[in-house]
Amino acid sequence: MRKISNFIESTFVAIGYISSFVTIFWAFLPNNMTELANKCPVSFLIGLFILSLIFAYYTNRSKNKIKLNLSDHVKAKIFFGDLFESNEIIVIPVNEYFDTTVDDKIISSKTIHGKFIKKFFGGNEVDLKRQLTNGLSQYKPLEINSERKSGNKVKYPLGTVCEVISDNKIFYLVALTRFNSNHRAEVNNSEYQRVLCDLFSYIEQNSQGRKVSIPLIGAGHSGVKLSKQKLLEFLLFSISLKDDLTLINGVDVVLHESIKKEIDLTSTQILFNTIGS
């Protein structure tokens, strides 16, 4: 429905633009334009309508990459690609225990968290644990869960961020999900909003203007009750509303190819351009 609405809106916008151009030409070439309109009035109108449809189609075609000015201090690129190919800071959503064991029970190998550990620390989990221990020492834990049978036992508040380094890449691990009574990782919508706020505050204070690449946070097994499209727009709104966030080199939102059918970047661009104007 949104695509149809955007197409209709773009068609009327095109009609407005083309009508303005025709008016200008008419002012400079009144005799020629009047003669053309009188000779072929139907063809003249059909031509205008066809041009409007072409414009609407062009502006609403599916896109793989868009650029947005989210604020005076932050420009964003949103595109489909491989998050791990980014060269500067990469955000990785993790659970509240900052677990390191990818066993498809505590951490699924299909999640960004699991893929990150396997790709960058698969042969050296000890180094990852050491970096996490050092980085998390500045925070006060929520509790020490001595009854937890597998994984780490120290629990941290959602929104906690810890920096680790591997292969000359910097990663910001952010605690996104908690474990419920059924030992499933989840986060509700209000917690999700707070996590984003804490993450961007950390980025503002620590990124030193370097480009930050983030995935569609919450799109995996987190339990956020939003469609992928709504999740993307919420994420972008969260960045744009962070008044003190300054990223000189911008932010990349890297979307996985597997959600391509669930994301309409054209609609997102139209939405934010409309708001910006």
Render pLDDT for 89-139 as a digit per residue (tens, 0 to 9). Answer: 999 999 999 999 998 888 889 999 999 999 999 867 899 999 999 999 999
Token pair belonging to 213: 């690449």
Task: Give the CATH number, domain containing residue 242.
Answer: 3.40.220.10
Token pair belonging to 58: 């062009």
120 plus 9 within the same structural domain: no
93 plus 138 within the same structural domain: yes
230 plus 160 within the same structural domain: yes
194 plus 154 within the same structural domain: yes
Q: Is 28 exposed, middle or buried (0-12, 13-18, 19+ CB in 10 A)?
A: exposed
Give pLDDT tens digits along the chain (277 positions).
555 555 566 555 555 555 655 565 455 546 655 665 566 566 656 666 666 666 655 555 567 899 999 988 889 999 999 999 998 899 999 999 999 999 888 888 999 999 999 999 986 789 999 999 999 999 999 999 988 888 899 999 999 999 999 988 999 999 999 887 677 788 888 899 999 999 999 998 999 878 899 999 988 777 677 889 999 999 999 888 887 788 888 899 999 999 998 999 988 988 888 776 5
Residue ending a domain, among 32, 60, 88, is 60
Residue ending a domain, among 14, 33, 60, is 60
**DSSP characters for 40-78?**
-HHHHHHHHHHHHHHHHHHHHS--SEEEEE-SSSEEEEE
Token pair belonging to 133: 């221990």
160 plus 207 within the same structural domain: yes
Residue ending a domain, among 20, 36, 60, is 60
Query: pLDDT tens for residues 200-219?
Result: 999 989 998 788 999 999 88
143 plus 225 within the same structural domain: yes
Q: Which pTM was predicted? A: 0.78
55 plus 102 within the same structural domain: no
Angstrom distance (rounded) from CA 2 to CA 12: 15
Angstrom distance (rounded) from CA 207 to CA 144: 30
Reported as type and span, the H/E element at residue 229 is: helix 228-240
95 plus 215 within the same structural domain: yes
Whose structure tokens read 């970047």?
A: 265
**Residue 89: C-alpha distances to residues 85, 130, 163, 209, 241 (Å):** 11, 20, 9, 10, 21
- Amino acid present at 12: F
- Is residue 120 within 8 Å of 166, Cβ to Cβ? yes
101 plus 197 within the same structural domain: yes
145 plus 165 within the same structural domain: yes
Give the range of the structural domain holding residue 18, as residue numbers without chain letter: 2-60
Residue 265 Cα to chain centre, angstroms: 10
Interstrand relation of 169-179 and 185-186 (parallel, antiparallel or unpaired): antiparallel
52 plus 100 within the same structural domain: no
If one counts the domains in the chain, the total is 2
